[in-house]
Amino acid sequence: MDDLKGLHEECGVFGVYGYTNAASLCYYGLHSLQHRGQEAAGILVSDRQQLSIHKGEGLVTEVFNPEKLDKLSGDMAIGHVRYSTTGGGGIANVQPFLFRTMDGDLGICHNGNIVNANVLKAKLEAQGSIFSSSSDTEILGHLIKRKSGRMIERICASLEELDGAFAFLIMLEDRIYAARDRYGLRPLSIGQLPNGAYVFASETCAFDIVGAHFVRDVEPGEIVRVKDNELLGRFYTDQPIHDKICAMEYIYFSRPDSNLDGINVHTTRKHAGMQLYQESPVDADIVIGVPDSSISAAIGYAEAAGIPYEMGLIKNKYVGRTFIQPTQEMRNQGVRMKLSAVSSIVSGQRVIMIDDSIVRGTTSKRIVRLLKEAGAKEVHVRIASPAIRYPCFYGVDMSTIDQLISHRMDVDMLCQYIEADSLAFISEEGLKHSIHFKKEHTCDLCMACFNGEYVTDLYDNRKNLDD
Ligand code: SF4
């Protein structure tokens, strides 16, 4: 229930090296990453002599048309889709950023959130830097500019100063760098086109769209450079490297056809549904999922329970974004416009409703009501993530801590609040087990929004943990 829940991934990145008409390919890649950010989009290209850019607010299809893409000539491109929260909205914060310097042009785009951004910004301003945006992404450009030596050394030394979550694409006239934070919080993968051109994407679903095959993920703490058609990787940090990919990427953000760390997202969600049944079975007639991201978990629950899976809720895909306003009244109306309960399916039935998460609780309450108004006899809610009790500082915009309903209410209180007949969340161990369903999957997960165990220092963000 993306738009209504108040839970937003902030960005997606896509890059291509060595493909004629790179801007068009980038357009298709960004289009497949549109679920990661719908507020703004941009593409920066290189024709090996100079960098050119077009960016704007809106969906990829609104920002670009064939004429605009034709003007972006070159065989290298990096692009970005953005959900405007970090640093706020406005065209100044739309990425990629383009720095024109005496050493040549430098373009940067970024998915994630730098937790020590304010500390670094204050330091850079004291040294004379002037920022043209409130985005934390711009900091990397200023850090690189202030370093000396070979470009790779300057970038590595700059990345070393950043703390938090990032997947960066950095483009010069003749090369692209791709770098991932040392915790691997945000995903970033490398693919290759049949002509040998390299592509980079926040999610592997973008490779399928452009006809690329998956090569490998950029490792946590790694920087990869593609230049002269050659791909070279190295670690940019001496600090400890952890593998702590964001658990919410599996539960909610990523597309079900994407693979993260080699694990298919739909499969993990289906396993989470099965696990949820093992942990919290309930006698009922049908299982339904809240479209779209809860369908996989609902299928898993139904399969494990031996209860039929039904389409009890239908999503209206054609509700414009203008209807989704962050006010209570608009959210009320938004649920009705986006979702319908199918009374011929749910009427007189004991329904198990699977959802991926509860943030504020208001959406769950309205869906339970929709189902009861459509004649459901009982509504048992099962959630395929642990309760969200803490805010995220790693590039996911979720409500402030006082708006997170599970921070204020235990499961019984919340069950009453959403007017369900029963409520249960998957356990943290159960979720880990669902994602690491094969023994060879050993990477760890960030679960800070469930348990408050943040993987980095929080710097001045710590004050946001106060009620
Ligand atoms: S705090 Fe939650 S949403 Fe943020 S990176 Fe960690 S698991 Fe993902």
369 by Cβ neighbours in 10 Å (0-12 / 13-18 / 19+) ranks as middle
Q: Is the pLDDT of residue 4 over 60?
A: no
- Summarised one tens digit per residue, pLDDT across range 240-277 is 888 899 999 999 999 999 999 889 999 999 999 999 99
265 touches 253 (CB < 8 A): no
151 by Cβ neighbours in 10 Å (0-12 / 13-18 / 19+) ranks as middle
**Cβ(359) to ligand 1 under 6 A?**
no
| 449 marked as part of a ligand binding site | yes
Q: What pLDDT does residue 243 have?
A: 86
Q: Dihedral of CA 266/268/271/272: which sign? A: negative
**Cβ(396) to ligand 1 under 6 A?**
yes
Q: State the chain's mean pLDDT as an integer.
A: 92
Per 3-state DSSP, what percentage of the chain is helix, strand, and coil (rounded to 5)? 35, 25, 40
- Summarised one tens digit per residue, pLDDT across range 5-31 is 666 667 999 999 999 999 999 999 999
Instruction: Compute the CA torsion angle 368, 369, 374, 375 (nearest 10 deg).
Output: 80
Q: How far apart are CA 97 and CA 168, in angstroms?
A: 12
Predicted model pTM: 0.93
Task: Tell me, yes or no, if 109 is annotated catalytic.
Answer: no
- Summarised one tens digit per residue, pLDDT across range 50-68 is 999 999 999 999 999 999 9
Sketch out the chain's domains with CATH numbers: 2-242 (3.60.20.10), 262-316+335-465 (3.40.50.2020)
Which string of b and e fits 216-244 if b means at least 16 CB within 10 Å?
ebbbbbbbbbbeeeebebeebbeeebbbb
Q: Among 202, 357, 396, which is best to mutate for testing ligand 1, by the most ligand atoms less than 8 A from CB? A: 396
pLDDT-based confidence at residue 323 (cuts at 50, 70, 90): very low
- Summarised one tens digit per residue, pLDDT across range 105-148 is 999 999 999 999 999 999 999 999 999 888 888 999 999 999 99
Q: What pLDDT does residue 398 have?
A: 77
Q: How far apart are CA 143 and CA 230, in angstroms?
A: 26
Paired sense of beta strands 263-264 and 222-227, if any: unpaired
Q: What pLDDT does residue 26 have?
A: 98
Q: Which residues pair with 286 in a beta bridge?
A: 351
Q: What pLDDT does residue 120 have?
A: 97
Supply 100's token pair: 């024109």
